[in-house]
Amino acid sequence: MNKYDSIKLGDTAEIKHVITNEDLSKFVDLTGDDNRLHVDKNYAKNTSFKKQVVHGMLGASFISTIIGTKLPGDGALWYSQSLEFLLPVRIGDIITVKAEVIKKNDRNRSVELITDIYNQNNKKVTAGISKVKIIEQLNDNSLKVENSENLFFSIYPNPAKTEITISCHFESSVSLKVNLYSVFGTLLKSASIINDNTTLNITEIPNGLYILKIYNSNSEIGIQKLLIQH
């Protein structure tokens, strides 16, 4: 089973981290944000906050950690994030980042997650929604550009300019369909296969390498590379 299909609605993950002075210093060195409210305790003492306030994005950066290492983990491409900073985070706070899958988008193989951050008092300090694409690994042994009678289907021409014909090398009692994906897993085109073959117009698809997959009901039964060169 691939990574996207293994993810279920309601899946959760969490990580914890203690915010330290070293974290703050590294963040300032990396970003250049040396706002005195964050770095000068004497300055902060004379504000309504009374103590240094940790950069909101320092805490939020651990959302990247949970997405990249826990949920979804390897292959996650984080492309959208909403954030609301509810309470200040202080040096010494223990933050818990929690993620929960609340939506799946089969068309572009992405997931939507609640990504909230809590302090050691179980108070929510940051609220957010993340959108993440799932990038699957391509198996070079199974993705051959050349047409072969040993494959479930063939593509011609390949490389192609304006259109391609997909021919299946077996008979099926159920309907088949072909999907054209970008190498990032975005669905670009889909068509039913009638009488063991179908034609796709690709004139609007930019030059590049793409992936064609054949499906029998909801099961993937064949996959090949397609090179488009107008």
Secondary structure of 41-109 as H, E, C letters: HHHHHCCCCCCCCCCHHHHHHHHHHHHHHCCCCCCEEEEEEEEEECCCCCCCCEEEEEEEEEEEECCCC
pLDDT digits 0-9 by tens, 113-141: 999 999 999 999 999 999 998 887 655 44
pLDDT of amino acid 171:
61
187: in domain: yes
- Pairing outcome for strands 110-118 and 163-168: unpaired
Domain boundary among 134, 164, 199: 134
- Alpha helices by DSSP H, listed for 112-217, are none
Domain boundary among 134, 165, 181: 134
127 and 157 assigned to the same domain? no
pLDDT of amino acid 142:
41
Alpha-carbon separation of residue 161 from 43, 156, 165, 226, 227 (angstroms): 64, 11, 12, 11, 9
74: in domain: yes
Coil, helix or strand at residue 32: coil
12 and 103 assigned to the same domain? yes
9 and 62 assigned to the same domain? yes
pLDDT at 173 over 80: no
Domain count, the chain: 2
140: in domain: no
pTM over 0.95: no
pLDDT digits 0-9 by tens, 52-110: 999 999 999 999 999 999 999 998 999 899 999 999 999 999 999 999 999 998 877 89
The answer to whether 117 and 95 are in contact (CB under 8 A) is yes
65 and 169 assigned to the same domain? no
145: in domain: no
142: in domain: no
**Better-predicted residue by pLDDT, 224 or 137:** 224
pLDDT of amino acid 152:
64
- Token readout for 197 is 């073959």
Alpha-carbon separation of residue 5 from 13, 101, 192, 220 (angstroms): 17, 13, 22, 12
80 and 176 assigned to the same domain? no
50: in domain: yes
d(CA 170, CA 152): 7
| pLDDT band at residue 149 under the 50/70/90 scheme | very low
> Is residue 4 within a helix (H) or strand (E), and if so which, with residue range?
helix 3-6
182 and 220 assigned to the same domain? yes
pLDDT of amino acid 132:
94
13: in domain: yes
94 and 14 assigned to the same domain? yes
113 and 76 assigned to the same domain? yes
CATH number at residue 203: 2.60.40.10
144: in domain: no
Domain of residue 175, residue span = 153-228
CATH number at residue 59: 3.10.129.10
- Token readout for 113 is 């997650």
| pLDDT band at residue 181 under the 50/70/90 scheme | very high
